[in-house]
Amino acid sequence: MTKPTDLTLYTASVPNGIKVSSALEYLEIPYKMRALDFSTLEQKEPWYLEINPNGRVPAIVDVVDGKKTSVMESGAVLLYITDKYDPANKLSYPHGSAEYYEMIEWLFWQVGGLGPMQGQASHFVRYCQSDNPEVQAYGTNRYVNETRRLMSVLETRLHKQAAKGSKYLVGDHLSVADLACLGWVLFDTYVGIESSEFPLLNKWQDEISAIPLVKKGLDVPKPFTIKEMVKNPEAMAAASATGRNWIQKGNEAEKK
């Protein structure tokens, strides 16, 4: 893809952001990147809410022939990108084909299931500071177990695909369904799920994240280091404290 574009990605180094940067890089789509600073709640500022009224990342703004289109929600952004910039179906399948609907199924499954559940698991494992240990334990068990169950659904799917000779969630090549799930699966150990629990999923995440163009996208806006960071208790404590701080500030701001 060498066609010049005027596309800006609003993102941060988080699961939903890296799904989109890895898709843009994989398709070699030129884009501008604007990293949002969560520590100052930039994602809640009025100018950004004009782009993404939900106050979350990712979002894109694309200008084509002078016409501006804003797209929020990672699943919608991935479909926009493949519709507009993937005519050869390098990261997608032709509209109307059986694989197209399977890709949509797994994309919706991720944005409606794995993402929200794992997001809550991260909250209870890393950021919740309840005075009541029972609240913390209940939330942690509920969401980590649900995330684990969802990852087992992916493991089973990969076994079925392997029986058909494919290493990918859908069809015979990488698609946005894989990249959407990858954004979250890469954070498995962050919520205490060991990669070794799901051997095929582990191999899948290692192989896909090692594809040079995917890797380039995972390193946006900064190098992806979560796997190493999780092994370093001091670094993790510092990252959790930073996260806890902006999340509490964000909760207060959103309450108002």
Ligand X SMILES: N[C@@H](CCC(=O)N[C@@H](CS)C(=O)NCC(=O)O)C(=O)O
Nearest approach, Cβ of 24 to ligand X (angstroms)?
A: 15
Each residue 193-232 as x (binds ligand X by CB under 6 A) or -, in order, gives ----------------------------------------
Most distant CA pair in the chain, distance: 56
What whole-number distance in Å separates Cα of residue 103 and Cα of residue 92? 8
Residues in CB range of 209: below 8 A, 6 or more apart: 182, 186, 215, 218
Cis peptide, bond prior to residue 221, ω within 30 of zero? yes
Residue with Cβ nearer ligand X (58 or 217): 58
Does residue 181 interact with ligand X by CB under 6 A? no
Residue with Cβ nearer ligand X (62 or 161): 62
Nearest approach, Cβ of 250 to ligand X (angstroms)?
A: 5
Does residue 126 interact with ligand X by CB under 6 A? no
Nearest approach, Cβ of 212 to ligand X (angstroms)?
A: 24
Does residue 56 interact with ligand X by CB under 6 A? yes
Backbone angles phi, psi at 8, to 5 degrees: -115, 130
Print burial letters for 55-89: b (CB count within 10 Å at least 16), e (below 16).
Answer: bbbbbbbbeeeeeeeebbbbbebbbbbbeebbeeb
Cis peptide, bond prior to residue 212, ω within 30 of zero? no
* Tokens found for residue 237: 């404590």
Report the site for ligand X in 154-173 (rule: CB under 6 A). none
Does residue 74 interact with ligand X by CB under 6 A? yes
With tokens 């799920």, the residue in question is 193
Does residue 92 interact with ligand X by CB under 6 A? no
48 near 201, Cβ under 8 Å? no
Nearest approach, Cβ of 196 to ligand X (angstroms)?
A: 25
Binder among 7, 10, 13, 16 for ligand X (CB under 6 A)? 16
Residue with Cβ nearer ligand X (55 or 171): 55
Residue with Cβ nearer ligand X (143 or 161): 143
180 near 110, Cβ under 8 Å? yes
Nearest approach, Cβ of 134 to ligand X (angstroms)?
A: 25
Does residue 57 interact with ligand X by CB under 6 A? yes
Q: Is 8 helix (H, G, I), strand (E, B) or coil?
A: strand
Binder among 9, 27, 91, 111 for ligand X (CB under 6 A)? 111
Does residue 43 interact with ligand X by CB under 6 A? yes
Q: Is residue 34 exposed (0-12), middle (13-18) or buried (19+ Cβ within 10 Å)? A: middle
Nearest approach, Cβ of 223 to ligand X (angstroms)?
A: 17
Which residue ranges make up the site for ligand X (CB under 6 A)?
14-16, 38, 43, 55-58, 73-75, 111, 115, 250
